[in-house]
Structure 1
Amino acid sequence: MKLVWGKIKKRGYIPIGYKLMMSYLIFIVFLVTIGYVSHSMYDSSMRKQTRENIQNTLAQIRDNVAYKTEDIVRISSTLYDDEQFVENLKMNLTNAQEIHTRAKKVFEPKLESASKSIGINLRLFIYVKNETISQVYYSYKPGSNFPNQTFNIYHMGRIVNRSWYQSLPSEEYGITMRWEEVENDQESGRISMIRRIVDLQDPINIHVLGIMRFSVSMDELFESVDYRKLGEGSMLYVLDRSGRAIYASDQEMQTASSDNNSSLTRRTTIPELLPEDEYLTLKEYMAPQGWTIVAHVPLTIIKQEAERVRTFIIGICILCFIVFTITGVYISGYFSKRITKLVSTLNAFREGDLRKRITYRGKDEFSQIATAMNNMGEDIEMLIEKVYLTELEKKEAELEMLQTQINPHFLYNTLSSINQLAKFGENEKLRKMVVELAKFYRLTLNSGKNLIPVYSEIEQANAYLDIQKVKYGHRLEVTFDVDVEVWKYETIKLILQPFIENALKHAWSGGDRIHIRIVARLENDEILYRIIDDGIGVRRESISDILNPSGNSETGFGIRNIHQRVQLQYGEKYGVSIFSKVGIGTSVTVRIPARKRRLFLDEDQALGE
């Protein structure tokens, strides 16, 4: 440590190698801190995350049960809304043949179809007031053999004194139904959906014709109510309106059912209130049935998950510390040696020793820099003078050229495209490009005038774009949005085409297409041109360098030239502004005063007189 500090004190600054290593160490400390904070936050958020996951699972269980109950309700609705079925329930027949025909043609087909509509163990019971309807039923006794999907017809006299019948809520047409354990449901592990059959012709003064009872096995109805979906040690209960457990699933019951080689044992009691520091309790309410699904999940599941994540985070932090430390030492040493050589050579050049050279092996950036510096050392003085004079002359020539004519590269590229079209025999495209080129230069030259009508500037830009469309085809999309009010005004020529060319040259990343929108508007005695593209965009620093260059920057020389021409012609209030977002596109605005052409000035004066 003393040796390192001595070297730093001797040099008067911290070498780049130490700076790089210090940055890596700071990053490692930051990483470890992040790991520690992440672990601390994880403990507090794990309960919430697990609660949400379990709540979602519980909601899925609820939806699965609701799906099966809705199937049964749907089947009951086919009978409830069947006018023929209801009318036959109302008919009092005396003829034995007619009674038999009604049973065979109407009741038995409909009830058999309803009992077998879904693939579960369903028993359908129909209780009717009309005693001319024959009773048909099975005797459901333990050990009796009968089909899984059956229907039964009884007279209502059997149930009028039963408490479950008398406690049915008042009938709301098409709505009232109830889930309850009635008759022998409790002994056989079943539950029933009970619903009245009413006269459809009078939904206001409801007349009850009978009762439908769909009895279904709880093991099938609550098949999805399985504690294993929530994790070992969890408990699941289905409570009815009174809070009594009608179905349950937990480890103890699963073991008992396995020992008995039967389905899950039913439980009618639930455990006392479980401590919150040991169990997480969640509920899902099923309003149509009046059931509540309750889940008790031991927090040990959460703790085990937290411990697993804690171990993972600690392991990642240790691994990253080792990897980043080794990487930091190697990279800092690698860059430090090379940068030190470069600094040493630059110091020699600054002192006038242009014979010093650097030698690097390989083809990386340092090797290229070394080669460039060696070449620079050979003729730096001559190069400075040559570059200075050349760039000065170039800048002056470009300034004059951009004020009077189009970049000759455009003409060269257009002629080259014409040559290619002629070579491949595309005469129609060739003719169109020649016509548009002639039109473009006719509008551009304009007898040497600097001020031209706005429509001529728009035509000139359109002619340029028509030439480019021949070249690029459907990949170039152009939209003109021009206010007709601007036709009567004049403008400086050649202020649209350079921006369009710039968009094609720099904004287009070489992708499938580019869209350019050209706008001309009259706003508050000013004409606003906008050239909008959806290209790659320009960084904010580049925009600043274009309009406010530092030193002898040549970035955006053409744009800056237009800006200067506008201000020289109309004043500093006007000029060019650029807005761009990288990856989205660029919008260039050129603002000039709205000055009418002489023709329209004469007309206005004549109207005034």
Structure 2
Amino acid sequence: MGESSHQLRFLAAICCEEALRTMGKQPYFFPLRGKFLVLFVLLITVPFVISGIFTYRKYAADVDRNTRESTLTIMEQMNLNLDRYVKDIDRLTQAPLYDQEMLNILTRYSGTYEPDLYLPLEVTGDINLFLSSFTSERTEIKGILIFTNNGGIFSSSANTVFRNWEPGGNEWMADVRAREGGLVIVPPHKANYYDFPLEVISIAREIVHPRTRTSLGIMKVDLSAEGFERVLSVVDFTPNSRFFIFNQDQLMVYPFHLIGDEKWSFKSVTRDTPDHIVSTVSSQYSKLSLVGHIPLEDLRQDAQELTTFTVIISVISLFVAYGIAVFISNRLVTPIRHLKGRMSLVQNGSFQAKASIIPNDEIGQLAIAFNTMVDELNRLVREVYETRIREREAELSALQSQINPHFLYNTLESINMLAMHNNQLQISDIVTSLGKLLRYTVEKSERPVTLKDELLFVDHYLQIQSFRLKNRLHTVIDVDPSCEDCLVPKLILHPLIENVIEHALHQKTVTLRVTAHFEEDDLFIQVIDDGVGMTANQVEEINRRINSRLPSQLEQDQFDKVRKGFGLKNVHQRLRILYGDRYGLFIESLVAEGSSFVIKIPV
């Protein structure tokens, strides 16, 4: 190919290289697919995160507010239940006021305290029977008692209660009398008037005669914690919630096991904590204060489960959205990658590469323009190449007409005869081989030659080189006779032989082997040597040079050794121009194991 063809190819390569450089070889290159992914991720994630944060905060605030309101409502309901329970017990303390016989008996024993008071059996039996009628189906009532002013005790549990009481150990009586007939809830205390002292909470009232307003004694109902537990368990609350009941003096009434512990005083229990909701409701009737400690963790458990479920669904949705984003970005970028790949092929000299027109958009229009450009480059290359071939043929014909080849042959024949006359047979052989080389290169006008003629040319060339190389080069030509009639381009083996002589011989004997064989419809001609070989980097550099589409002058300016590798490149480029990109020169080599050059052409 001539200088104009090289320039045209160079311009095409420059155009493609510039396009590829802008697409993928900038210093801070960021692929288009990555940009699409970043854009999609931002468009999906940022609104989702912002809306999620504000929604969660609003939801958490609403849950907290609703939780506190519902907790207060439940506490008020529990307080009503507690009032109802206290009222039921309080009715028992008022029962003697509506029984005239009971008032008469109590009036009889309303005198001053007598330590050794004796109560007649018939009196105690009637009153005890009256009191025991109120204890049916109330398992939490440990006893219903009437303490007379003169020291006697009437009880629903006569068998387990003493008949007399002593002022010592019954300090609660002073508080009851101070209320003058009002309801008194006595905090848990030891009741020492039982055979076995019991820990009870009591509801008591001083019995005041309705007409005379004189004190007849004290009626007292002793209760276990079971009644309060039943009242508090009516409402289904969280399992870790705790409830406390205090009387009007801020003394703990319930639960029993915490009474007396300063840690659980009214002030400490009603103090706010960061991890609990503390609600306090008070009863106007019983003067009791109900304090609830409800862990926020329990109240927010359902909300946390809903939040966790929402987060899981959101994360799954995000991954699905990201997958769709990846799919869409791939669909958008695939035509561009395809077009970039076609440009790379054109950059490497394959002007048959066409882009598939898939999308009906700007990228599709770009692919149409690219295909048009490739067609035009093909046409121009073909025209310039054919023009330069005709010019070279004309120049060769003109040269042949100016220099008569017979003059050269006659001169070489004269030198040959002189050498034979002086018995210089080696010189005669060299001159004879040189004449045959000249005759092959000058006189054979047809471009394709048989492989047999090409091998004869190589043999003459090696005869001349053997004079210079002595015994350092051994040659073996092992070609199947069926291959000798195949037509091959002229002078394709000579550059390979010359390359072996120039680079493989380094103070060692080298064996050069030339073989040829068929594989399907292709002919493979192989030139093998066992010389010094090449490294993988050297093989890669030679492959890069022989595949380069740079014009000859530019390549000469680029490399220090101007002509190094030019013969191999010319052979490779000629074969690709004649037969296509599937054919050409292929190189394999290992250090210290020699090199292998394979020519592949169609039969």
Give the TM-score taking structure 1 as reference length.
Answer: 0.36
Asked which structure has the greater CA Rg, the reply is 2
Give the TM-score taking structure 2 as reference length.
Answer: 0.36
